[in-house]
């Protein structure tokens, strides 16, 4: 039985099983989602490394399942994220949300274990289609529009992936997506490679391709955002690590990704959108690691993706709990919630410490591997950029999120603590953040390459603490001096200015120009028609002219009939 199940893509149980969740009713659909996630994890854990489910397809072999160290670690963390998200959503009485979330998670797991580009494409598009319902579930005009934009961009990514796969097949006769332990097997030395890289880059939120993330994630439901934060972008990280490791252009892209979100996160008022920008920042570290391409850098990328899924989910959980109880995550409307939501405050601070990279927490043992890899390759500029980015994330996620949500000025809001299931999910995620920070050897043993890296050295701990304390001091000085950007009720635009402002403006002006030209043409035509009518009226007022006109018209009709008759007789 288990042997036959190995031929099916991991996560397929979640994809198919999710279709039946609404049939369980509002009361049991949530528990059904949790059971599916746990069962799928148990099946995945019994799957040995290898290639399964091979079949012939247009003269080439498709490998539906490929399990190696890289895919196993991503499959494992995706399962754990699905379980945490399902626990967090136990209170939700909406079968469609549970269907969407579990199908989305199952598709991401299937994609992370795909051995060929066609299987990857199928699950790639399924993640887009399934996840959009988590955005639409809020049932507002803004979420509907954001979901449409999200779906268009994600489906476009899939179209580019399929186009690149077809071109790669035409060039090489293969649709394989990396071999056992092989990385960097696609490259950008061909049009196919560039198209596939662009497809991955859209899903990974590369600069100028990123704003679908900040546009859509804050519009999703409190539980939906937790699902969204775990899968889409990390699936892209996996794909980049599988296909483009060592591509130097990714180093520059990653450096930009680590820096530009800092500015927007500092001035942003919506704390869930702040977390979306910090997600961009953390993805930048992973992309840099993939670009460096050494064993230490790739280990650091995979470890950071693993840890990031947990602590980012924890931060989104804490903000989701605030949204669930207070109804908003706007910094201007929050503050003082530590008095009524003390447990959520503690869990949020653990997540904030993890993303900032405090010692004994998960971010410390993963992010440092990438920074060290840059130093070992003598990339001084990259090393400096990553240090600056580390200080930046301390400011906007390590301090800003818990400070403005739970401390700062007292908003006077007194609410209930988060529901029990939310607290359980946050407690488990917090335990994992602490456990990974202390027992890092367990994670290192699962990494794609053998690791001898030791994070807890005196020099490293002192350097990190100095950096974090400097960032904290800078925050305090800016706040006390009034130089810190004030939290304002406003919509901050970056690249979405193109489709929110520029394109509507250009299209509006173009429409006005077309209307102007159309009116001019119609006016000129009507003027000529009036002149012709006047001439005809003048001509027909002369009876002699009427007779001549009738005679000429009659002759033309008879001539046409005669010509038609001749042609008919000729062909007969």
* 270 strand-pairing partners: 330
- Provide the sign of the torsion angle of the four alpha carbons 526, 527, 533, 536, taken in this order: negative
Residue 475: the pLDDT is 81
Contact 113, 71 (CB under 8 A): yes
State the pLDDT at residue 15: 95
Instruction: Identify whether the C-beta of residue 522 lies closer than 8 Å to the C-beta of residue 515.
Output: no
Structure confidence at residue 496 (pLDDT)? 62
Asked whether 268 and 298 are in contact (CB, 8 A), the reply is no
The CA radius of gyration of the chain, in Å to the nearest whole number, is 30
Backbone angles phi, psi at 266, to 5 degrees: -65, -40
pLDDT for residue 182: 54
Tokens of 398: 């390590």
Residues 154-201: pLDDT tens digits? 999 999 999 999 998 888 888 888 754 455 567 788 899 999 999 999
- Per the listing, tokens 């993963």 go with 366
Q: Provide the percentage of residues in the chain whose pLDDT is more than 90.
A: 59
Q: DSSP of 436-452, one letter per residue?
A: HHH-HHHHHHHSSS---
Residue 550 pLDDT:
44
* Residue range 391-401, pLDDT digits in tens: 888 887 888 89
Q: Which helix (H) or strand (E) holds 266?
A: helix 249-267
pLDDT value, residue 65:
87
Mind listing the pLDDT tens digit for each residue in 526-564? 777 677 667 766 765 654 444 444 445 555 555 555 655
Cα–Cα nearest to 77, from 314, 303, 368, 320: 303
pLDDT of residue 540: 56
Closest CA to 268 of 396, 145, 389, 146: 396
In degrees, rounded to 5, the angle at the alpha carbon of residue 148 between the alpha carbons of residues 237 and 321 is 70
pLDDT along the chain (572 residues), means of 10: 67 94 90 96 91 79 88 96 96 93 96 92 96 93 92 95 92 76 67 93 92 90 94 95 91 94 86 92 95 94 96 96 92 89 96 93 94 94 93 86 87 88 97 95 94 90 88 81 67 62 73 79 73 67 49 53 56 51
d(C-alpha 109, C-alpha 132), whole Å: 17
Q: How far is CA 430 from CA 77, 84, 103, 260, 351, in A?
A: 15, 11, 25, 28, 7
φ/ψ (deg, to 5) at 453? -75, 135
What is the per-residue pLDDT for 59?
73
pTM (2 decimals)? 0.85
Best CA proximity match to 108, nearest among 87, 94, 88, 122: 122
Task: Give DSSP secondary structure letters for 500-513.
Answer: IIIHHHHHHHHHHH
Of the candidates 317, 334, 314, the residue with the CA atom closest to the CA atom of residue 415: 334
Q: Which helix (H) or strand (E) holds 53?
A: strand 50-57
């Amino acid at each position: 039985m288990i042997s036959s199940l190995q031929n099916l893509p991991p996560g397929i149980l979640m994809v198919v099983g999710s279709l039946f969740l609404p049939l369980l009713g509002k009361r049991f659909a949530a528990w059904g989602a949790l059971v599916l996630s746990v069962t799928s994890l148990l099946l995945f854990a019994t799957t040995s490394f290898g290639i399964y489910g091979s079949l012939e397809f247009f003269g080439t072999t498709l490998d539906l399942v490929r399990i190696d160290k890289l895919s196993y670690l991503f499959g494992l963390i995706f399962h754990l994220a699905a379980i945490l998200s399902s626990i967090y959503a136990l209170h939700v009485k909406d079968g469609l949300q549970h269907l969407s979330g579990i199908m989305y998670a199952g598709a991401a797991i299937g994609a992370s274990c795909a051995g060929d580009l066609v299987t990857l494409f199928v699950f790639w598009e399924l993640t887009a289609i399934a996840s959009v319902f988590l955005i639409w579930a809020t049932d507002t005009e803004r979420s509907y529009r954001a979901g449409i934009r999200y779906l268009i961009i994600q489906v476009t990514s899939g179209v580019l992936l399929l186009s690149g796969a077809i071109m790669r097949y035409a060039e090489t006769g293969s649709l394989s997506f990396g071999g056992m332990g092989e990385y960097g097997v696609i490259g950008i030395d061909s049009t196919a490679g560039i198209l596939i890289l662009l497809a991955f880059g859209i899903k990974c939120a590369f600069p100028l391709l990123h704003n679908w993330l900040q546009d859509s994630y804050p519009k999703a439901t409190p539980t939906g955002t937790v699902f969204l934060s775990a899968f889409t972008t990390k699936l892209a990280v996996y794909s980049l690590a599988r296909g483009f490791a060592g591509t130097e252009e990714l180093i520059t892209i990653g450096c930009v990704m680590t820096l530009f979100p800092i500015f927007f996160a500092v001035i942003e008022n919506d704390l869930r959108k702040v977390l979306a920008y910090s997600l961009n920042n953390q993805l930048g570290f992973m992309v840099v690691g993939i670009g460096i391409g050494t064993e230490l850098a790739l280990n650091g990328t995979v470890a950071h993706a693993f840890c990031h899924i947990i602590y980012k989910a924890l931060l989104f959980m804490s903000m989701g709990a605030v949204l669930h109880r207070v109804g908003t995550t706007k910094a201007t409307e929050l503050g003082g919630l530590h008095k009524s939501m003390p447990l959520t405050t503690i869990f949020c601070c653990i997540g904030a410490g993890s993303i900032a990279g405090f010692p004994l927490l998960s971010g410390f043992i993963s992010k440092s591997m990438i920074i060290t890899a840059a130093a070992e390759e003598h990339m001084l500029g990259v090393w400096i950029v990553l240090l600056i980015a580390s200080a930046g994330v301390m400011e906007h996620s390590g301090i800003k999120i818990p400070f403005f949500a739970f401390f700062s000025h007292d908003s006077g809001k007194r609410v209930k603590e988060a529901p029990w299931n939310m607290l359980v999910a946050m407690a488990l995620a917090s335990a994992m953040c602490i456990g990974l920070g202390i027992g890092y050897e367990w994670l290192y043993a699962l990494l794609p390459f053998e690791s001898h890296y030791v994070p807890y050295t005196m020099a490293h701990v002192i350097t990190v603490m100095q950096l974090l304390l400097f960032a904290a001091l800078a925050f305090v000085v800016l706040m006390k001096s009034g130089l810190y950007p004030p939290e304002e009720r406003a919509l901050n635009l970056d690249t979405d200015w193109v489709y929110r402002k520029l394109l509507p403006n250009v299209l509006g002006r173009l429409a006005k120009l077309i209307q102007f030209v159309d009116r001019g043409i119609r006016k000129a035509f009507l003027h000529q028609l009036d002149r012709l009518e006047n001439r005809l009226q003048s001509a027909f007022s002369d009876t002699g002219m009427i007779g001549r006109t009738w005679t000429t018209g009659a002759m033309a009709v008879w001539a046409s009939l005669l010509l038609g008759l001749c042609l008919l007789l000729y062909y007969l």
